[in-house]
């Protein structure tokens, strides 16, 4: 009963409570997978339908010169404040995997004479796959290291380090300031994967002197399934950012149709092919929910949701092994070990509590501060106690 009373009080006092009304969520569902696919803001469907009707059907090809072509830069400009970037350093387009490939190849080209790429040893799989192919194509050696071992692993051979801001399995938050600084001391560049932190954790790319970053938009930014990713290139590196997918959209004068490639002088040089307009328009609409939202308030609620989740686990599921750090060095998820994790998550989903499973034995519960309620946290843990 005390947990129920506390959940009610926390929900009543929540400064972000009104934001939940802006999302199209089934009231019978407790959704804890926003760290994989964010919930849709209510207005997105109408805005997208209007774009199809008015821009695609109404204006047809004229829409390219009426805002479509510049959409990657404009939407990138809306994401820039969420990652602590000044204008002109973020562009939207392609997938995270494609942007990783572009940024990683550009990074080794920016740092010649060094033949090694260091990779976060617990990285999200696609980062490892892409890094492996970049190493093979460029003749670099790829070496996996634990983030805690990075200072001793760095050397004069290291061209770039690819790191995840938040560990996708455990939810551990890595120290961007310290790891960026130690890499720079060794003369290496740093490429950060922000997929599990953007829209959840205040990020200060410019302040921390980050070189490059990529991130997806379908998790905490709620851009929709497969919504286009983004890439950040620090202004000081733009002039030398030579990415390998020299497509027409990154050309300095794409409609001149010249035979030779000449990269755009700004962030547009990170573009490749024709942008996916409908997905980008949906993302543009989804970003409206961030208008007037304090990144600090989002972080504070995310941590508070995690604290309450852990208290519920401790009281209702004593002895459960918690994989997520209990201190603030965590993202907005709680991961629990469960020997029958797949079956347990299936049972939770059947009862209206939607989280996800990561092999071999991890239950993940994403905490999206814009729409997750404390009452739902209690419901999730109570239901988990019943099905285990």
215: nearest Cα among 200, 202, 196, 233: 196
Please provide the DSSP assignment of 268-326 as one string: GGG--S---HHHHHHHHHHGGGGTT--HHHHHHHHHHHHHHHHHHHHHHSTTPPB-S-S
Residues 6+ apart with CB under 8 A from 179: 147, 150, 161, 163, 190
Give CA–CA dist 155/241, Å, rounded: 23
What count of residues does the chain have? 388
The answer for 142, left when phi > 0, alpha when psi is -120 to 50, beta otherwise, is beta
Tell me the catalytic residues: 124, 193, 218-219, 364
Contact by Cβ (8 Å): 134, 101 = yes
End-to-end CA distance of the chain: 21
Helix count and strand count (H, E) for the chain = 12, 12
Contact by Cβ (8 Å): 216, 96 = yes
| Residue 371 Cα to chain centre, angstroms | 17
Contact by Cβ (8 Å): 109, 100 = no
| Residue 317 Cα to chain centre, angstroms | 30
Residues 6+ apart with CB under 8 A from 347: 387
């Amino acid at each position: 009963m005390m947990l129920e009373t506390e959940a009610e009080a926390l929900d009543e006092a929540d400064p972000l409570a009104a934001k939940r009304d802006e999302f199209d969520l089934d009231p019978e569902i407790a959704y804890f997978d926003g760290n994989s696919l964010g919930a849709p803001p209510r207005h997105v469907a109408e805005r997208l339908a209007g774009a199809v009707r008015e821009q695609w059907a109404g204006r047809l090809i004229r829409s390219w010169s009426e805002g479509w072509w510049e959409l990657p830069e404009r939407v990138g400009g809306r994401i820039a404040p969420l990652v602590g970037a000044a204008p002109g350093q973020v562009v939207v387009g392609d997938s995270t995997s494609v942007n990783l490939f572009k940024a990683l190849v550009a990074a080794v080209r920016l740092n010649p004479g060094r033949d090694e790429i260091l990779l976060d040893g617990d990285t999200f799989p696609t980062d490892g796959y892409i890094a492996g192919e970049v190493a093979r194509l460029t003749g670099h050696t790829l070496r996996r290291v634990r983030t805690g071992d990075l200072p001793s692993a760095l050397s004069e051979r290291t061209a770039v380090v690819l790191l995840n801001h938040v560990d996708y399995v455990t939810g551990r938050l890595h120290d961007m300031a310290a790891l960026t600084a130690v890499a720079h001391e060794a003369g290496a560049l740093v490429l950060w994967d922000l997929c599990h932190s953007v829209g959840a954790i205040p990020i200060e790319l410019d302040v921390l002197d980050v070189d490059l970053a990529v991130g997806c938009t379908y998790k905490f930014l709620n851009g929709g399934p497969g919504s286009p990713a983004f890439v950040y290139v620090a202004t000081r590196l733009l002039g030398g950012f030579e990415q390998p997918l020299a497509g027409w959209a990154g050309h300095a004068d794409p409609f001149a149709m010249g035979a030779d490639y000449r990269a755009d002088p700004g962030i547009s040089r990170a573009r490749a092919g024709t942008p996916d307009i409908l997905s980008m328009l949906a993302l543009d609409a989804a970003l409206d929910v961030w208008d007037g939202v304090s990144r600090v308030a989002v972080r504070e609620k995310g941590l508070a949701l995690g604290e309450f989740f852990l208290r519920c686990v401790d009281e209702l599921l004593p002895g459960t092994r918690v994989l997520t750090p209990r201190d603030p060095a965590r993202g907005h998820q709680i991961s629990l070990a469960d020997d029958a994790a797949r079956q347990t998550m299936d049972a939770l989903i059947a009862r209206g509590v939607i989280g996800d499973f990561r092999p071999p034995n991890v239950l993940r519960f994403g905490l999206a501060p814009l729409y997750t309620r404390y009452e739902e946290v209690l419901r999730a843990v109570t239901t988990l106690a019943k099905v285990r």
